[in-house]
Amino acid sequence: MQLQFSKEINKEAKRLHSKLKYLNYSLNDCLPFAPFTLEINRLKLEKNAVILAHNYQRAEIIYGIADYHGDSLGLSRQAKETGADTIVFCGVHFMAETAKILSPKKKVLIPDHKAGCSLSESITSQDVLQLRKKYPHAGVVTYVNTSAEVKAESDVVCTSANALKIIEEMPQKEIIFLPDTFMAQNLAKKTAKKIIPWHGTCIVHETFSPEQIDAYRGTYPDIKVLAHTECKPEVVAKADLAGGTSDMSRYVQNSSAGTFMLVTECGMSDMLQVQFPHKKFVVPCAICPHMKKINLENILASLKEDKYEIIVEENVGCLN
């Protein structure tokens, strides 16, 4: 998009800068975003669309154009309640599918259909059927980071926040937990039930180590360490909180601590830094290449050309 300096663009850049300055963006850094955010926000109204951004998205998306930002399932639940005709999901494919399952009558778009997820891609519906044959007495609890087809073959779909409660409430003594092997190990420590794991991992969270946490604690003795439950058990064991991205947000909001280490994708720290400018977020930065496929340019194209539309077969919808 051509950058034509106008009063409107300068004003928009200033609006963006009022948020992004907490991430050390200058007004000049915000100028190239302005024509995009202006046009996206205009089209959004024209098309009665709502824009959802996962907590890991770029700050110019979260603070420039998103109507809601949050965790994967929370966003879809929020979108269901709106009167929008179209949902543009700035996140990865399984999240947009979840939004479609919860809002089957709305058009759901993802700006880049190749935005996948290593956890979701680790397992197919055929794998679930094989596991059921191998463990006929086990219940199947599946984390939300999976395709609609895998969800459809499961008994219950969970989030990181309610996985333990669901496992405890299942009638079976053996639970096949899909697809995250580390989350399964973390849960196995908290329940007397036998947990049968799958071998999926998150390419971002598997990179963190307990030594990194020790190093940060050495430098910042009062630091609070918040780790995503997709991390290895030895990482989770060293954290003050293990949870999903919403749990982390809540923890920071309610904590009087001044410094936090977020053991998760680095977008999360940026998102919180803007919201809590007086707190300090130190990160062993890890980027999710799938999440970062989404940008202002492809969001604009998505809204203009109605692409890429998410289709979920009717009998696959299994969330409520």
Residue by residue, DSSP assigns 99-140 as: HHHH-TTSEEE-S-TT---TTGGG--HHHHHHHHHH-TT-EE
The rounded distance, in Å, linking the Cα atoms of 44 and 36 is: 12
Binding of ligand SF4 by 265 (CB under 6 A): yes
| Cβ proximity to ligand 13P, 55 vs 147, nearer residue | 55
269, two tokens: 């720290």
Binding of ligand 13P by 72 (CB under 6 A): yes
Give the distance between the most distant pair of CA atoms in the chain. Answer: 67
CB of 286 to ligand SF4, least distance (A): 8
Among 202, 213, 235, 272, interactor with ligand 13P by CB under 6 A: 202
Among 78, 160, 269, 273, interactor with ligand 13P by CB under 6 A: 160
The rounded distance, in Å, linking the Cα atoms of 141 and 7 is: 54
Among 55, 86, 103, 201, interactor with ligand 13P by CB under 6 A: 55
Judged by CB under 6 A, the chain residues 272 through 301 that form the site for ligand SF4 are: 288, 290-291
317, two tokens: 């919808």
The rounded distance, in Å, linking the Cα atoms of 148 and 201 is: 18
Centroid of chain to Cα 9: 30
Q: 277 to each of 26, 64, 109, 250, 273, how far by Cα in Å?
A: 16, 17, 32, 16, 5
Among 153, 180, 230, 270, interactor with ligand 13P by CB under 6 A: 230
Binding of ligand SF4 by 183 (CB under 6 A): no
Contact at 8 Å (CB) between 78 and 55?
no
Contact at 8 Å (CB) between 140 and 128?
yes
Among 244, 267, 273, 316, interactor with ligand 13P by CB under 6 A: 244
DSSP state of 309: B
Judged by CB under 6 A, the chain residues 64 through 103 that form the site for ligand SF4 are: 92
Contact at 8 Å (CB) between 110 and 130?
no
Among 203, 282, 301, 319, interactor with ligand SF4 by CB under 6 A: 203
**HEC profile of 170-229:** CCCCEEEEECEHHHHHHHHCCCCCEEEECCECCCCHHHCCHHHHHHHHHHCCCCEEEEEC
Binding of ligand 13P by 78 (CB under 6 A): no
Among 55, 118, 269, 273, interactor with ligand SF4 by CB under 6 A: 118
CB of 61 to ligand SF4, least distance (A): 15
Binding of ligand 13P by 241 (CB under 6 A): no
3 state SS of 41: helix
Nearest CA among 253, 202, 198 for reference residue 226: 253
CB of 56 to ligand 13P, least distance (A): 7
Report what 55 binds from ligand SF4, ligand 13P, none; CB cut-off 5-8 Å by kind: ligand 13P
CB of 267 to ligand SF4, least distance (A): 9
- Give the orientation angle of helix 93-102 with respect to helix 72-81, to 10 degrees: 30
Binding of ligand SF4 by 232 (CB under 6 A): no
CB of 11 to ligand 13P, least distance (A): 33
Among 146, 181, 245, 269, interactor with ligand 13P by CB under 6 A: 245
Report what 78 binds from ligand 13P, ligand SF4, none; CB cut-off 5-8 Å by kind: none
Site residues, ligand 13P (CB under 6 A): 55, 71-72, 145, 160, 202, 228, 230, 244-245
Q: Point out which residues bind ligand SF4 (CB under 6 A).
A: 92, 117-119, 145, 202-204, 230, 265, 288, 290-291
